[in-house]
Chains A and B, each alone.
Chain A
């Protein structure tokens, strides 16, 4: 019975360190992850505190001051730091307010798509057979349709609005999650720990929620973050094509669209929202890449 005291020798090795603290420590070590996090936090803060950051009304037109250049150029004014657009609206405050819509769409469309994709992917992967067939053939069919065209048709029929935009963006991009979750589920289902759950007599619901879902979650979060980036770009494209956000609402994509005609004469109207999109998307991608490294236990070991 003496051998039973075994683990004591090893006790000191286990450092009780909260996972959150560890995550923070890892973040400090990754430069790109840090940059990504700073950008994303900044954009989120900008969206939340928009009214505090600028006094200019983003929708207020001012024909006298139309197409003013940024303040550091000749003819620019410090009242409109990044200049004005063709209707004399302040570009800077439009970018600040535009972040609200861009983020709102990016995040809610991803949440919607993620929820649908996660649920269907788990069902298809875990139960297989006819469930798998129905769900995966639906996924294949959706993938076969050109995405933008599909969205444009639905938006044209239903009429563009914020809600329809979210529904359309979320309703088409869940397929990515469903495929990923299904294939992960298929492999996790065969792991010994799932067999061990069956062996103790756990029911399917418990196995799915306690064994499979937590183990696909890390890949899921990574894809979801990257998907926020693509959704922001998609929203911009749709707005650019005129079926996205409608005035007086403002989004970065819409600003790009508005600035298109003036790109040769007044470059700042389209350039600054373009930069805003690029920087935000890059930030989100950096964050996503870093999350992949941190959350993937395979890489960690």
Chain B
């Protein structure tokens, strides 16, 4: 455990709405170890993206962390000043988003934006930064890197923009890279390129990656360890092979069964009934109970704790 880079304990996040506070992350605990790739899987409304925004300290104005601890190495992130957080974000934790267009500034060239970070953090000269920038673009597999430095974000395709984002994120050698649905907006063939790129990065550097996704395919391609989230909670945690071979929580099982398989066609897909509950109106007891095929009356009474069944496999269910 002393190998952990990021340690999140009992994280709770709420949003202020006109009908009062709505809590979308309800006590999430996990850690990211040095050099590992952790995947957080969940559907919309699971709180996976909010968790990552909370870690980065970039929640929307009406959101706040109201309980829990976030430790990055020896720093307590909840007690950082804005300035300290900014420095941490630039140098130690980097983030890439689903739609890189919104994260790149449309009025500056790629080169300008890349150089700016390098000059700011490493006090490089402009020439050094230019050279390093080109090098970074080449690392992420951009052909004609020198030309691309002079382009504006809108002149690049979605896949290229995502590569640029990755280059920018990596330019300061972060210890942790948070990737929020990094391939969701991309075409399949481009997605394969980006996934391969991320996998290679992981092998070459010892950057830890935290990937947030709804796609179990992406998880299977990249992750070492997986956390499954549902309705703002962790419902299962396991190493990748263990999770796919022996999923315990009925939600995890259902999620896996409801994906159409490309090499194994069935007539009718398994489907999880119902929809994710509204955070303003959560069921008491187990939050998955209204959709659960195996739950019974007991499940409405107890809110199940996250229990470890083995050293590294945990589930939040009293029935399995």
Contact = CB atoms under 8 A, between A and B. Distances in A.
Question: Are chains A and B touching directly in their complex (CB below 8 angstroms)?
Answer: yes
Interface of A: 2-3, 5-10, 12-13, 25-26, 29
A32 to B, nearest CB: 15
Interface in B273-295: 273-275, 277-278, 280-281, 290-291
B157 interface: no
Given A3-B273, A29-B18, A9 B278 contact: no
A29 B19 CA distance: 10
B281 A9 contact: no
A2 B290 CA distance: 14
A3 B290 CA distance: 13
A10 B275 CA distance: 7
Contact of B281 (A5, A7, A13): A13
A9 B290 contact: yes
A6 B281 contact: no
Nearest to B271: A3
Contact of A13 (B271, B278, B291): B278
Contacts of B271: 3
Interface residues of B, number: 11
Interface of B: 18, 271, 273-275, 277-278, 280-281, 290-291
Contacts of A6: 273-275
Q: Describe A's contact surface by its main secondary structure.
A: helix
A172 B137 CA distance: 56
Query: 7 shortest A-B CB distances, which residue pairs?
Result: A9-B274, A9-B290, A13-B278, A3-B271, A10-B275, A13-B281, A6-B273
Contacts, number: 28
Given A2-B273, A3-B271, 4 more contacts: A6-B274, A7-B274, A9-B274, A29-B18
Nearest to A30: B18
A296 to B, nearest CB: 14
Contacts of B278: 10, 13
A9 B291 contact: yes
A29 to B, nearest CB: 6
B291 A26 contact: no
5 contacts: A5-B273, A6-B274, A13-B278, A25-B18, A26-B18
A22 to B, nearest CB: 9
B50 to A, nearest CB: 16
